Amino acid sequence: MDVLHLRRDQKDWRAQTRVIALKNRLNSGERRLPACRSRQLAETGNWRRIELRAQKCCRQGCRQLQAGSLCSPSHDALRGVLSSPCRPCFAQRGPKVTIDMLMGNYHIAVVGATGAAGTELLRVLERRNFPVASLRAIGSARSAGKSVPFRGESVPVEKLDDRCFDKTDIAFFSAGGDVSRNYVPIACQSDAIAIDKSSAFRMEPHVPLVIPEINADDVRRHRGIIANPNCTTTVMLMALYPLHRIFHVRRVFAASYQAVSGSGTRGVEELTRQTRDAVHGPKSRTKPGSSTSPEATADKTIPASVPPKTRIYPHPIAFNLLPHIDSFLDSGYTKEEVKMQDEARKIMHSPALRVSATCVRVPIYRAHSVAVSAEFQRPLSVEQAREILSKAPGLELIDEPHSNRYPMPLTVAGKDNCQVGRVRLDCAFENGLSFWVSGDQLLKGAALNAVQIAELL
Ligand SMILES: NC(=O)c1ccc[n+]([C@@H]2O[C@H](COP(=O)([O-])OP(=O)(O)OC[C@H]3O[C@@H](n4cnc5c(N)ncnc54)[C@H](OP(=O)(O)O)[C@@H]3O)[C@@H](O)[C@H]2O)c1
């Protein structure tokens, strides 16, 4: 018999969503929506032990689940799901697990805690007062001996290995696709819920891909892994989805302007180094006060004549634009551009949507922007669009072009909300609208969105 540790926070429905995830994991078959039965075994102090028996569903489409004595379904949204079970579903018995439920906070692991997205995640957990019982900061062997700050303390960084997820409730992954592919399954084996910021599992049919303002309900069908969408897609959808809900988007042309922190800390270092070298000369880091110091050489250097050394991008990023993010496919699009269509379809439950994107890396540190031209099924006006966008959750309308007010990376960086502006009827599309949306991709595109997902559990 498996024993799983289930945290129970203030809200009963958090426990219920976890039970639904267990139910999904216990039963095989993609399309089957099995029923599940539970009974209370014991209650000691803060702990409640329950037995959960999965039932193989004999009838496709059965959505019913019996709560039994697990806990009272206090959340309205779950009442329908937790109604009495479909009789035929109990004809066949499935495996069972025992779950210990504890009133308390979550044991958290952050893989990639020293990176750009991981560092931001720790700040967001702290800022949003996420109920953390314990925190494990995990990195590569390169981070051995380092520590990261969390709630006024120094948390030592552990080297990633198979034991890192013991007794972990939620594991945030932000260490790239290879690490996620290898270690997310290990975290799930340890009964942690993995919230993955890489692209490794995003398009797996059984993995919800979630932006809480758009498809929070999808979290309920997770089986241990929840994926955080691509950062540029997230920024675009924060403005596109509220319009889509009313006017139904058909196709989109988009051009992105993506900050170097989207490539992690190495992207930031590359822009800093190349900018300094281009302005002051490559030797500017040596001999302060000497004839080659920045002060002495600044007025003698012709920036364009000094090709900076490149480490992570194929060409210099300082004073340049790279119409190239991720690798090129046979179609001529890059993987990043294809993600904008594929992920948008999955998140918005809109399989016929067509998105043609050009993704561009720009020499700014933080916040991605997207110029969007969208064609809708229903006619719309600028006034209607502005009204909808001004009320959309997680979005701010900044659209006073005659006062030079529109979203910009510098004004949106460090903010939770994305910003939209330059809203206008598109002159090339029937029922078309063009707009410009900016968002901090380290926050809404990564850390903030991941923590918002965890808050849904
Ligand atoms: N940056 C963004 O805006 C953004 C947005 C959305 C999603 N993401 C996703 O978040 C992930 C991380 O991106 P990032 O920008 O934060 O990159 P980053 O700044 O380069 O950080 C990478 C992190 O991963 C760790 N790491 C790398 N290899 C590892 C290994 N073999 N074992 C354990 N830890 C390892 C690094 O640890 P060490 O310090 O020890 O090397 C570091 O903490 C990527 O999957 C990326 O797609 C990033």
145 and 243 together in one domain:
no
**Number of helices and strands (H, E) in the chain?**
12, 17
Q: Looking at per-residue confidence, does 17 or 318 come out higher?
A: 318
385 lines ligand 1 (CB under 6 A): no
Q: What is the largest CA-CA distance in the chain?
A: 86
What pLDDT, on the 0 to 100 scale, is given for residue 349?
97
pLDDT band at residue 280 using 50, 70 and 90 as cut-offs: confident
CA dist., res. 298 & res. 290, Å (int): 13
What pLDDT, on the 0 to 100 scale, is given for residue 278?
85
267 lines ligand 1 (CB under 6 A): no
The answer as to whether 269 is a domain residue is no
143 and 176 together in one domain:
yes
Q: Looking at per-residue confidence, does 455 or 9 come out higher?
A: 455
193 and 328 together in one domain:
no
The protein residue with its alpha carbon nearest to ligand 1, atom 21, reads 115
253 and 182 together in one domain:
no
The pTM is what? 0.79
208 and 335 together in one domain:
no
What pLDDT, on the 0 to 100 scale, is given for residue 80?
34
CATH number at residue 177: 3.40.50.720
Over residues 57-81, the mean pLDDT reads 33
The answer as to whether 340 is a domain residue is yes
The answer as to whether 296 is a domain residue is no
Give the distance (Å) from ligand 1 centre to CA of residue 357.
25
222 and 361 together in one domain:
no
Q: Which DSSP state fits 36?
A: E
The answer as to whether 303 is a domain residue is no
Q: What is the pLDDT of residues 368-418, one digit of tens each?
A: 999 999 999 999 999 999 999 999 999 999 999 999 999 999 999 999 999
| pLDDT higher than threshold 50 for residue 6 | no
252 and 160 together in one domain:
no
248 and 185 together in one domain:
no
The domain in which residue 334 lies consists of 232-259+321-441
114 lines ligand 1 (CB under 6 A): yes
Over residues 189-217, the mean pLDDT reads 96
| pLDDT higher than threshold 90 for residue 60 | no
Rounded to whole angstroms, what are the CA distances from 43 to 15, 51, 69?
Answer: 16, 12, 11
Helix, strand, coil shares of the chain, percent, nearest 5, are 35, 25, 35
Active-site entry in 57, 89, 164, 231: 231
| pLDDT higher than threshold 60 for residue 329 | yes
CA dist., res. 221 & res. 30, Å (int): 11
The answer as to whether 283 is a domain residue is no
| pLDDT higher than threshold 90 for residue 67 | no
242 and 171 together in one domain:
no
- For the question of residue 231 being annotated catalytic, the response is yes
| pLDDT higher than threshold 60 for residue 82 | no
pLDDT band at residue 144 using 50, 70 and 90 as cut-offs: confident
222 and 326 together in one domain:
no
What pLDDT, on the 0 to 100 scale, is given for residue 293?
44
Q: Looking at per-residue confidence, does 438 or 98 come out higher?
A: 438
What pLDDT, on the 0 to 100 scale, is given for residue 85?
38
CA angle 195/6/56 to nearest 5° reads 85
Q: What is the pLDDT of residues 346-371, one digit of tens each?
A: 999 999 999 999 999 999 999 999 99
The answer as to whether 282 is a domain residue is no
173 and 250 together in one domain:
no
Q: What is the pLDDT of residues 211-242, one digit of tens each?
A: 999 999 999 899 999 999 999 999 999 999 99
218 and 327 together in one domain:
no
Give the distance (Å) from ligand 1 centre to CA of residue 265.
8
Tell me the average pLDDT of the chain.
Answer: 82
The answer as to whether 276 is a domain residue is no
CA dist., res. 195 & res. 201, Å (int): 10
CATH number at residue 402: 3.30.360.10
167 lines ligand 1 (CB under 6 A): no
User: Structurally, how many domains does the chain consist of?
Assistant: 2
Contact 209, 184 (CB under 8 A): no
CA dist., res. 445 & res. 197, Å (int): 9
The answer as to whether 11 is a domain residue is yes
